[in-house]
A and B are shown apart, each in its own frame.
Chain A
């Protein structure tokens, strides 16, 4: 199925540019052309098809469903909906406030908001086609677990104390309302009815939007991969940044903070790091930190959280990603 991209790279690099597969440059360029063309096609097709299917799932329905849910199941549901609900990070504040004013506990809202950037359907399909279902499954489980435990932890420390006062006020009113008419919503989120044309419109604009946002990351990711592939001796990464170096995981997490990308854009980077021998835990830690812990996100969250909560939240994510990295590096030999 992917042979066509290999052929394209063969033709472009060996015939048009007249480079030999034996040279480092030829090898690296071949890798670059093959991977970039493959990922671009996969991305556009997948985003379109998936957007077509999930055009009707909206955030309001998810909120109504989550309102009044018991906390235990709430974290799991919040995290699951975070994984499947389409949502752009510039909406995180309205979503936070919408959930909060419906009386949904901060922990459940944050379970949603932590999982949302980490897991989405496009990322899942891309992971499956580049890295296989086993790695994909691990990635989903880890992402959801961080969301669920993170939400649980924030409620356990009573994070709502440190909301900005208007948000705290909204939460109180929402919970009051929930208590007054206690009829938890048992129905699954109801879906909007959309015509095929509306779906196509939505899918087309999604594909364009996401592609324009991530194409440069694909370039950087695959470019990095090509450079490693052609110029860094095999095994060098493993030897110098391997599982034996405990500090490489926190270093990867910190390196990920100033870098900011969405999950779709960072997957090609993961692929190139993994195939060049960076341990799975270090790779996961780096990529999750890039996707979920970023300065723009924190500046947004500052509008609804006090510094104290923001600091706790930030620290919590960093610790979580570091632990994930260590645990996976430790467990890899036993897989």
Chain B
């Protein structure tokens, strides 16, 4: 069916990546994006006159190389940093600087050795995890050969690594990082990526796996951040011949319960297609865009059950100067997480329909995204608050959360308060509304064992195919998961092309 028409719902990174790959393979591809901007959660967020935040999600270190290569992103301007960014981790007396596997500054006695052991495991399992993430999801029902190959890859890690992996994988990240002998601030900082965006704290089960996967898949960041990544993917998709439509909201996936026939747009226009790829979350795809009798029961029930309670609040600061510590050192990245218990307490709030009084902050500062010379933008992923806040997300509640985040930041950066020209606070419902993500869950659903691999988002569509012929899924709610990876879009395109 070369040349057949494919519709991609959602012009986020995954939709664009899939569109580019499908167009490259000779398909006629149309991407329909409801918003006016492409790039989804990675798109730059203009939030004040002269200030643009570098994406709702700003971590670009996890872009899967195979998708970037297949799209030819390098030819479209994608560059990756030469070295890992330096992350500032405030401590009681000063700060630790974490750069890749190196720690410096106010380190504890066990930190250097602990980070070495942490990095050693991450490096050792990287090939296996990359293999799992870059292929169709592992499925116990699949051919024995494919399972065997992965099993062999695990065995090839050697007995010591394999046993350590088995030991660490089910742990909570707090237990793991503490067992490495790390000082509290460093342990907490290494745990933050494992809980960010999800309904977990460092004491939640299986978060060690999330930490391990995220660390293992992280490479150098994209030069220019998420907006530069979007720019390259859009350019590649267009160059391959994909048609990108913005301001075009899909309101219905048309099917007869057995085969997809196209989509209906908000304008009322019906567009036919041989295949439809939805990069939206399963609630949107299967419950909102599909009629009540379009899908098999199991899929509908899985979509209802799929867990995506957003906990992320995004805070954007327009700064009239750089972000600096008390000594006047410039900070480009910071994780404000005094201790594991502080991160856990921040998550506790989300459990009980509240917002953290001292949120855990993942801060990225960009001076190139403020137009005025010397000004800067601080992009803060804050953990955690409830989507369903008691009393509702009023303007007052947003301001209160923003002030709390600023309080946490001021402890290490005393001058920041005086430099805030404007602050934007996006609570989970704001994220849900603006980006069309159910629950405002920035990862398109929990990265929990029951929602990963062939179970993401449902056993009925875990390999990017659905029981409806011609209907595919390929957003963050599919393997290999949420975040700015291009992986789901790449694998979905592969699934369509292999049909």
Q: Do A and B assemble together?
A: no
B positions within 8 Å CB-CB of A: none
A positions within 8 Å CB-CB of B: none
